Amino acid sequence: MTPIKTLIPAAILAILGAEAALAETELTVYTAVEAEDLERYAATFNEDHPDIKINWVRDSTGVVTAKLLAEKNNPQADVVWGLAATSLLVLKTEGMLEPYAPAGLDKLSPQFRDSDTPPSWVGMDAWVAALCYNTVEGEKLGVPAPTSWADLIKPEYKGHVVMPNPASSGTGFLDVSSWLQLMGEEGGWAYMDALHENIAAYTHSGSKPCRMAGAGEAVVGVSFAFRGAKTKIEGAPIEIIIPSEGIGWDMEATAIVAGTANEEAAKTLVDWSISPKAMEMYNVGYAVVAIPGMAKPVEHFPDNIPEMMIDNNFEYAANNREKILSEWTARYDGKSEPK
């Protein structure tokens, strides 16, 4: 009997040991990645790292940023994977990110990483502004397809353009900050004054303008290319247009939250997040990824996106965000009175 008696605990120990080796590390990952992509991202990551389980906490860019800031003194997240770089810059100014140089950092295009060494964050892909133009309604209403930002302030677009409110939408903010960078402060505000006359509505989210254009509620939606392509696949009669002056963009980026208890697993995830395999994964929905030369064309995305992206000054955008938004709100928000 004795051998069995000793065998059983030994077997239990062995099983426990095996369990322990396989025991999952759970990472709480905050993200603003589009809802339809989350499952795919986690599954692809788990192909290489089955031992790390990702618990997603997803919301829109603004809300995730706010949540992180609110938890500043008691962080709940281990990693931020897929949040706008401008938001990560804000978190950096609050000292909330753990600098880390992931493996393969040197392969990234220099724009797609924090300039400090080691960097506080690394980029994944670019998320670019685009216009969604409804060809059916455009023809019906005699509104031609715009080719540039300047077109949008022409009188024939009056009441046919929707854009996101930059105070609530990351896409809206990158539009406004790109206009201010392209046209200068004065020219940018003058442009927005004129554009305001043509705007039918400022929406809360960056997706909605394109959805509205897709459903014919508006003719032109100022939105982002990803949403445009997805809406087109669904059957909307829209064209995705890149304005000729150049387009604002932001990148989705990854960072380790300072103070995480799972630093090793967090580093593994960040390493993987800039691997070629991850880039291929991002490339399904995004035409520009952080490793140059890797991206393949994406269905319904215009080819010229990389050339059209402006030389975005993220520090300017982050440090002037408050000033720009209060100016914008004072000028355009809630001005329309009942007529």
Partner 1 sequence: MSVTGAETLPPGREPRIRLDRDGIVKRLFMGIIALYLLVALALPLYAMLSKSFVTYRFDLTAYEFQVSDEDRVFGEPVSAADLNEELQVFTDQQLHSSSDGRLTAVDLFPEFNFRSKVLYRMRGTKEHAPWLVGLDPQDTTEWQEYDSNTFRRINLRPVASVGVQNYRAYFSNPSLVSSIENSLFIATISTVITVLAAFGFAYALSRTCMRFKSTFRLIAMMPILVPSLLPGIALIYLFGNQGMLKNLLFGHSIYGPLGIVIGSVFFTFPHAMIIITTALSISDQRQYEAAESLRASAWRTFWTVTVPSARYGLISAAFVVFTLVITDFGLPKVIGGQYNVLAIDIYKQVIGQQNFEMGAVVSVVLLVPAVLAFIVDRQVQKKQVSLLSARSVPFQPRPNPRKDRLALLWCLIVAVFIAGIIAVCQFAALIKFWPYDLSLSLKNYAFDRMDGGGWAAYRNSIRLALLTAGIGTTIIFIGAYMVEKIDGFRTGRALFQFLAMLPMAVPGMVLGLAYIFFFNDPANPLNPIYGTMTILVVSTVTHFYTVGHLTALTALKQIDAEFEPVAASLGQPFWRLFARVTVPVCLPAVLDISIYMFVNAMTTVSAVVFLYSTHTALASVAVLNMDDAGFIASAAAMGMMIFYTNAAARALHALASRRVLRRTQAWRAR
The pattern of x and - marking residues 65 through 94 that bind partner 1 according to CB under 8 A reads xx--xx--xx--------------xx-xxx
Stretch that binds partner 1, among 14-22, 105-113, 244-252, 314-322 (CB under 8 A): 314-322
Our CB check for partner 1 shows the closer of 240 and 291 to be 240
Our CB check for partner 1 shows the closer of 19 and 337 to be 337
Our CB check for partner 1 shows the closer of 121 and 191 to be 121
Our CB check for partner 1 shows the closer of 170 and 246 to be 170
Residues between 231 and 260 with contacts to partner 1, criterion CB under 8 A: 234-237
Our CB check for partner 1 shows the closer of 132 and 291 to be 132
| Shortest Å distance, C-beta 104 to partner 1 | 24
The pattern of x and - marking residues 149 through 168 that bind partner 1 according to CB under 8 A reads ----------------x-xx
Angle, vertex CA 118, rays to CA 111 and CA 289, nearest 5: 30
Q: Which of 189, 202, 249, 272 binds partner 1 (CB under 8 A)?
A: 202
**DSSP SS3 for 315:** helix
Q: Which of 129, 130, 200, 265 binds partner 1 (CB under 8 A)?
A: 200
Q: Whole-angstrom distance between the N-terminal and C-terminal Cα of the chain?
A: 93
218 binds partner 1 (CB under 8 A): yes
143 binds partner 1 (CB under 8 A): no
Our CB check for partner 1 shows the closer of 30 and 301 to be 30
Tell me which residues touch partner 1 (CB under 8 A): 35-36, 56-60, 62-63, 65-66, 69-70, 73-74, 89-90, 92-95, 116, 136-137, 165, 167-168, 200-205, 207-212, 214-218, 227, 234-237, 315, 318-323, 325-326, 329-330, 333-338
